Amino acid sequence: LGLGCGAPAILTSACSSEAGAQDHGGASSESQWAMVIDVERARNPALREACREACDRAHNIPRIPDPDEEIKWIWSDDYQHTFPDQVHQHMPREQLELPVLVLCNHCTNPPCVRVCPTQATWKRESDGIVMMDWHRCIGCRYCMAACPYGSRSFNWRDPREFVETDAEGNFPSEFPTRTRGVVEKCNFCAERLRDGELPACVEAANQVPGGEGALIFGDLSDPNSEVSRVLASERTITRKIALGTGPNVFYIV
Ligand code: SF4
């Protein structure tokens, strides 16, 4: 890809506004980026690690060894914790423990946005991405308490010390590094979408043998997009649907 907002068919419809624009909005978006994850195809450990690795590099995400202080944009959890309202005690253990890729759901009604006192997080009207501005974040962590999916991480330490640099001390990408005391999360690769590229995790999954199409990304408001077609034809679920948050990450199960 890398074709800009004028060209790539899969990524054109949500390009109407500059990706950095801050449209502090409510539940409705002109377009809505969405992802479909095929749970069975994405169970491959190499694929899941490739997704995380690509995301980490694209966003200079630190690898902090202490799990209580970890920064996670995309990670794996098991089926029973990912879909607690879809399981029962008699299901096969193999299914309950199936690893599932999880990330911010870029919810249609995001509770994290409602509780932020400084509008450091907002739902972008142009394309439905739930954005973050780390300069506005005061580290109150209300958004972390409000998110029912654990999709947000707090920087307890200076994250820059835990990002692997090259021999010259350069970070893996030009994406802005964060500071201690702010919250962060997946941004659906808004910076890559602006350049007409797919999210880093989707691109990485496509490059793993047998992984093409395990993660599908596109505009939900376009009935002809691949995500719309897959949702119309496959059996899909979202996480904790009863909460009414309206996740825009869907799972083929
Ligand atoms: Fe907010 Fe969590 Fe929904 Fe992401 S998954 S938009 S952080 S409530």
pLDDT higher than threshold 70 for residue 18: no
The burial class, CB within 10 Å (0-12 / 13-18 / 19+), for 18 is exposed
Backbone angles phi, psi at 125, to 5 degrees: -65, -30
pLDDT for 30: 82
Mean pLDDT of 58-63: 97
DSSP per residue, 198-209 = PPHHHHHHHHST
Which carries the bigger pLDDT value, residue 53 or residue 17? 53
Instruction: Give which of 114, 118, 165, 124 is closest to 140, Cα–Cα.
Output: 118
Q: How confident is the model at residue 14 (pLDDT cuts 50, 70, 90)?
A: very low
Mean pLDDT of 59-69: 96
Instruction: Give which of 226, 206, 196 is closest to 35, Cα–Cα.
Output: 226
3-class SS of residue 142: helix
Q: What is the pLDDT of residues 183-193, one digit of tens each?
A: 999 999 999 99
Mean pLDDT of 81-105: 96
Q: Which of 77, 151, 238, 240 to mutate to test the pocket of ligand 1 (most atoms within 8 A of CB)?
A: 151
For the CA of 130, the nearest atom of ligand 1: 6
Report how far ligand 1's centroid is from the alpha carbon of 16 (Å). Answer: 23
pLDDT for 43: 96
Q: Which of 35, 119, 147 to mutate to test the pocket of ligand 1 (most atoms within 8 A of CB)?
A: 147
Structure tokens that stand for 16 in this block:
């109407």
pLDDT higher than threshold 90 for residue 9: no
Residues 198 and 215 sit within 8 Å (Cβ to Cβ): no
Q: How confident is the model at residue 11 (pLDDT cuts 50, 70, 90)?
A: low
The burial class, CB within 10 Å (0-12 / 13-18 / 19+), for 113 is buried
Structure tokens that stand for 186 in this block:
């997946």
Report how far ligand 1's centroid is from the alpha carbon of 109 (Å). Answer: 9
- The response to whether residue 116 sits with its C-beta less than 6 Å from ligand 1 reads no
Q: What amino acid occupies position 201? A: C
Q: What is the pLDDT of residues 165-216, one digit of tens each?
A: 999 999 999 999 999 999 999 999 999 999 999 999 999 999 999 999 999 9
Q: How far does CA 123 lie from the centroid of its chain? A: 13
Q: How confident is the model at residue 28 (pLDDT cuts 50, 70, 90)?
A: low
Q: What is the pLDDT of residues 133-158, one digit of tens each?
A: 999 999 999 999 999 999 999 999 99
Contacts with 207 (C-beta within 8 Å, 6 or more apart), sequence order: 50
- The alpha-helical segments, DSSP class H, found in 8-126 are 45-59, 79-82, 93-96, 111-115
